[in-house]
Chain A
Amino acid sequence: MIRILCADDHPLLRDGIAALIENQSDMEIIAEACDGREAVESFRKHRPDITLMDVQMPETSGIDAISTIRSEFPDARIIVLSTHAGDVQVSRALKAGARAYLLKSSVRKELLETIRAVHAGQKRVSPELAAGIAEHAADSVLSPRETEVLRLVAGGNANKQIAARLSLTEETVKAHIRSILGKLEASDRTHAVAIGVKRGIIEI
């Protein structure tokens, strides 16, 4: 019996996943969590065989939760469920220790198979996601500070507000943005945000 922890902030989605797994004789949902922190606690408590982790969750994000769990339980087998196909997010999730990365649009058909594969010790990343990672493998990676700036840009903040939030000078913020535009090959801020979202550097 494969014991599964399902962490997703959306109850209907959790229900849906539970319904998919309920019909299977070889697996069961032993616990659910609605955010990253709860997922970590639940993991500690139940020690599931497989953890289904949504990336975008309030409080502690899925990636952070993965990192925490993996730091405590290096054997933890975690499958990331995400709506995002962005290479950065995929690779970030994998770096954090996820064994598989599954797009939610693929969950219906591939979830059970992936759970079984991961439980069997395999890693699973769908081919198109792998291609995305490969495509940007040589690209410069945004620094954490730049990622932060980009996130604030995406939040609709002007340079001045970003500077205030990050306790930087406006000039520095501008320099960061120039660097971001360069690294993402974006033509303007909006473009950069779009790319950032697409590649999973930031979520919106």
Chain B
Amino acid sequence: MRHLEPLRNYSALTSKLSAGLITSTATAFRKTRLGYDWVDKGMRNCLINFARRIGGGFVCAAVFSFPAWALNPAYLITQYAHSMWGSDAGIAAVRRIRQSPDGYLWLATGAGLLRFDGVRFSPFNFGPEEGLESSAIQDLVIDPDGAMWIATTLGGRVFRYQAGKLHTYTSKDGLPPNEIICLYRDSGGTLWVGTRGGGVARMVHGRFERVPLAIPASVINSFLEGPDHSLWISTFGYGVFRLQNGILTSFTVENGLPDNRVSCLYLDHSGTIWTAGWKGISSWNGMRFTADRAVNAAVRYAISLSVDRDGNFWIASPSAGLFRAHGTEVTRMDRSSGLSADTATNVFEDREGNLWVGTPSGLDRFRDGPVRTFTQREGSIPVHGPVVTDDRSGVWTASTTEITQVAGNAIRAWPISLPSVSAYTLLREPDAGLLIGSDKGAVHWTGGHSSFVPELSGLDVHALFRARDGSIWIASRNRGLLHWRTAGESRGLAPTGITDRFISSLAEDRTGAVWAGSATGGGLYRLDGRGVRHFGLEEGLRSSQIYTIFVDGQGELWIGSTVGLSWFQDGHIRTVNSQQGLPADQVFAILGDSYNRIWIAGFAGIAAVDKKSLADWAAGGRSKINPIVYQIAVGHTGFGLNIFPNAAQTADGHLWFSIADGLCEVTPPDTAATHAFRFPVVVEDVNIDGAHHLEPARAEQGRVRIAPGARSIELRYTALTLSKPETLQFRYRLDGVDNDWVSADTRRLAFYNNLKPGAYNFRVAAREWGGEWQESPALVLEQLPFYYQTWWFTLLALTAALSVVFFVYWLRVRRMAREFNVRLEERVGERTRLARELHDTLLQSFQGLIFHLQAVQDLLPAGKAKDLLEESLERADQAIAEGRSTVYELRSSATTTNDLVGAIQVLGEELATEDSGAFHVLVEGSSRNLHPIVRDEIYRITCEGLRNAFSHARASQIETEITYGERLFRLRIRDNGEGIPNSILEEGRPGHYGLAGMRERARQLGGKLEIWSRAGAGTEIELNIASAIAYGASPGRSLFRLFRRKAG
């Protein structure tokens, strides 16, 4: 160990560094289980941050929790659930794997940055920055607030991306021009940059500054903040440096490093610092580095290291693939054993415990769960073999040629050593040997020695089952079901009376009765001391084709058939299948566990059903059961059909199923842990008419505005859990469009077309099989309207339409009024001309004649002739005077005063006789001037009406009502007399033109006359004349008046 001299300006740097580091002491690590504390705190902060952001300011109460899946060290490396994505998924050359606080996985690849939700890779679009999206990404760092720092291989540039904004830092911002190799963010929030040959830089107050450290010009490829807040720096060629309290210390092979070419630094969950590089890995014990001998014996060059929660060391090697080390055991995986490439470049454990491996060809994920498989990859495992357990948690299976034992990870096989024997079934013997049922009878096998059982020779044995009394039940293809007692008085082979040759499963219930299921439609048989009882469709079975039967620890019988899982409850056979929530209808194998669950195997994998939920369903308490479903990895589908036994439970509670590739082991998980699994569900993208619309950052604002006229809207949503994302079930709904949740199954897309303007809440929920629905915060889709879809436009259009109608009406009324006025003027002119004619010509002529006659009369002597002529002349004068006055009336008007009411009053009085009824004139509204001719006509109509009333009605009450309305002039003449007979109403009074005349006058006035009359009930005559005509005023004025009144 060698201390370097502090640099001259070092005190300034030291104070800055310590200032940065002091602030981070709030999150100081504790001595015990340091790593976990750190992870938990960090993760919680991230999640709260995430919840804030997706909640758009609302505090999201849901705290997400993830099952701590471990990568069980007891499993073989090939037995983990392994998935890989390569060039067919669009990715290549994964250099760095990071997880953002919201849960996405970010991949720095040779072709840009990818975002991954466990199912979908999204090339991350930074916006308009040229060249970035297709650049090879060297490294990235994600801040707890989601801001990303990105370095590309271009060199000399660092990008910062947050909330849709990209900022580029260059040498102008103080960055060294060299290629940037790594980025690091310490707990104080300071960003560190390691370069190739340009030393170390860090960001201070928005600018980068070179940190003058005495590190030789080399590749700075990793930073690490130690538990004591010292900063560790690794170099490729000069070992490791530590910056502690301003003092830089160098560590090389002299200090225990395996080699000075170090690739990365790693802090494990317990707070130990590790290096990886040439010649393997080493750990820091506080004084010096110690090489890990076991690992380094196998790993020549480690480029990346991760230590998972179970203490497995995962090492990426550029030369040899992936290594897992546990204790002294080191296992390797490369392309031949399933890795996507023969080299690995990066290993990363996500917060759910999945292990991710980046390779030049793509991405690999390892996780374990309750299910692991034993196939030809792990050893000599028969396919589709029967499976039985031994006393020590081991299982036995058999092929036509071999007997195989699996105990722990050890697989051991023995030859059956008998020629041409096909082993169909196995039975454990009390002496730890096996009884093998074959087409050539039964074989006793123990310790590698085989011998035919003479009593069973000639039988084609397909199932063997030992009852509690020690007797053996044998299903044979040639003699049906047989009962073999090996001890006691009745020892020997006895027929059961069941000749069904396809009995495929046998079980004994708690009463000691033996059940046998027929695989070819024979149904179910129950045998006890009293005989055989058959169960078929009549007895309530839904199918008589029985795949398997099983009696659980409580002695209850379970039946697997082509239509589901059946059992007896309250004397009835109940059956559930996919309609009630099972993953598939066919049930090939059944087992129970110690958590009161029934496990079934079928086409869709293995599912666990809570027995209580089945009972609840049978009692009508629920319509669905929610099984936990485990899909068996690709290639492992198909369960031992017509193999007996095809499932078995070992003493440690593990469940074993016979599958097409071999065996499958299930470790039943604790129920509570599974159901506490909570994860965020988010809408990540909105595409409108094919155009990417919603930046991920903007999705979190909780509102998307959609431009008018959008046709198709595509919503991409996801659930941010990386453990079993491909099996997650989704449902979504758009309130106002969908009446209920729309089931999307595993699809992560929703489409909508032609939304009507308005705001809609979009919600999506996800769950794993049997889990609770986890719902996203609502995203508001606001479809903006075209201007013609807005309420104000509708209002405007209506107003305009009304205005037009009103205007047309107004025009029409005006035109009518004008035409009428013109007609009136014509009539005035006509009358005037007539009057002048009469006056100027006729009357003058008469006058002249009278003068002549007067002259004659003057000549006549006094006498009778003269007197007579005088008398005639007097009359002629009168006649002329009358004529003149008529002419005068014609010229002006009948009533020179405008007092229609008065005129009518006088008229009524004139018409009244002693025995006629009372007469009233009622006036409503303030009196208005009527057009003289209209007034005359009204007067004449009134004359006619009143004359009728007074002459014919014999009424006690006669009333004239005049209404000077704004829009109408109305005249009503009412009496309570005899009424007008219908004949007269219809045809008129013979020789009179009264009613017809009234109507005609009204029509010519442009008014409307209506007469109601009934015999004995009086008469009412109503005359309505539009105000424009009656008052001779322009309708516009009255319109304004109307508005004014309304306004007032």
Contacts and interface: CB of A to CB of B under 8 A. Distances in A.
A104 B847 contact: yes
A108 B850 CA distance: 8
B848 A14 contact: yes
Given A194-B893, A194-B896, A20 B828 contact: no
A191 interface: yes
A84 to B, nearest CB: 10
B845 interface: yes
B848 A16 contact: yes
B839 A83 contact: yes
B1017 to A, nearest CB: 40
Nearest to B828: A156
Nearest to A112: B858
B834 to A, nearest CB: 11
Contacts of B948: none
B932 to A, nearest CB: 4
Given A13-B848, A194-B896, A105 B881 contact: yes
B849 interface: yes
Contact of A204 (B836, B844, B848, B855): B836
A56 B835 CA distance: 14
A20 B858 contact: yes
Interface residues of B, number: 37
A23 interface: yes
A187 interface: yes
A191 B898 contact: yes
Given A188-B898, A204-B891, A108 B854 contact: yes
Secondary structure type dominating chain B contacts: helix
Contacts of B880: 105
Interface in A6-45: 8-17, 19-20, 22-23
A83 B825 CA distance: 26
Main secondary structure of the interface of A (DSSP, over half): helix
Interface string B826-846: 001100100110011101110
A190 interface: yes
B554 interface: no
Given A23-B859, A187-B897, A10 B848 contact: yes
A62 to B, nearest CB: 14
Given A108-B851, A194-B893, A187 B898 contact: yes
A19 B877 contact: no
B929 interface: yes
Nearest to B844: A10
A195 to B, nearest CB: 8
Contacts of A156: 825, 828-829, 832
A23 B851 CA distance: 12
A190 B893 contact: yes
- Residue among A11, A191, A195 with the highest chain B CB neighbour number at 10 A: A191
A192 to B, nearest CB: 10
A197 B892 contact: yes
B845 A12 contact: yes
A194 B847 contact: no
Nearest to A11: B848
Contacts of B843: 83
Contacts of A204: 832, 835-836, 891
A16 B896 CA distance: 34
A105 B856 CA distance: 18
Given A19-B852, A156-B832, A188-B898, A10 B891 contact: no
Nearest to A58: B840
A10 B846 CA distance: 11
Contacts of B858: 20, 23
Interface residues of A, number: 32
A194 B850 contact: no
B893 A16 contact: no
Given A20-B854, A187-B897, A193 B892 contact: yes
Interface in A157-204: 187-188, 190-191, 193-195, 197-198, 204
Nearest to A158: B825
A105 B877 contact: yes
Contacts, number: 93
A197 B896 CA distance: 12
Given A156-B829, A188-B898, A191-B896, A108 B848 contact: no
A24 B748 CA distance: 131
B154 interface: no
A16 B857 CA distance: 12
Nearest to A104: B847
A83 B844 CA distance: 9
Given A83-B884, A204-B832, A194 B892 contact: yes
Contact of A108 (B829, B873, B929): B873
A19 B836 contact: no
Contact of A20 (B829, B851, B884, B932): B851
A193 B877 CA distance: 27
A52 to B, nearest CB: 11
B572 to A, nearest CB: 103
Given A23-B859, A190-B893, A13 B844 contact: yes
Interface in B871-916: 873, 877, 880-881, 884, 888, 891-893, 896-898
A197 B856 CA distance: 34
Nearest to A203: B836
Contacts of A14: 848
A195 B891 CA distance: 11
A107 interface: yes
Given A10-B844, A156-B829, A194-B893, A23 B932 contact: no
Contacts of A187: 897-898, 929
B836 A20 contact: no
B161 to A, nearest CB: 77
A16 B851 contact: yes
B877 A108 contact: yes
Contact of A12 (B848, B855, B932): B848
A198 B884 CA distance: 12
A110 to B, nearest CB: 11
Contact of B847 (A16, A188, A191, A197): A16
B214 to A, nearest CB: 104
Nearest to A22: B855
B877 A16 contact: no
A83 B884 CA distance: 9
Contacts of B892: 190, 193-194, 197-198
Nearest to A106: B877
B644 to A, nearest CB: 116
Contacts of A11: 848
B53 to A, nearest CB: 74
Residue in A11, A190, A191 whose Cβ sees the most chain B Cβ within 10 Å: A190
A14 B891 CA distance: 25
A61 to B, nearest CB: 14
A12 B858 CA distance: 19
Contacts of A108: 850-851, 854, 873, 877
Contacts of B896: 191, 194-195
A190 B840 CA distance: 22
Contacts of A19: 851-852, 854-856
Contacts of A190: 892-893, 932
Contacts of A197: 888, 891-892
20 contacts: A10-B841, A10-B848, A15-B848, A19-B856, A20-B851, A20-B858, A23-B858, A56-B840, A83-B884, A105-B884, A108-B850, A108-B877, A156-B832, A188-B898, A188-B932, A194-B891, A197-B891, A198-B892, A204-B836, A204-B891
Interface of A: 8-17, 19-20, 22-23, 56, 83, 104-105, 107-108, 154, 156, 187-188, 190-191, 193-195, 197-198, 204
Given A16-B850, A198-B892, 14 more contacts: A12-B845, A12-B849, A20-B851, A20-B858, A23-B858, A83-B884, A104-B847, A105-B880, A105-B884, A107-B847, A187-B897, A187-B898, A190-B892, A190-B932
List the 6 shortest-distance A-B pairs measured between CB atoms, nearest first.
A16-B851, A12-B848, A16-B848, A19-B855, A194-B892, A13-B848
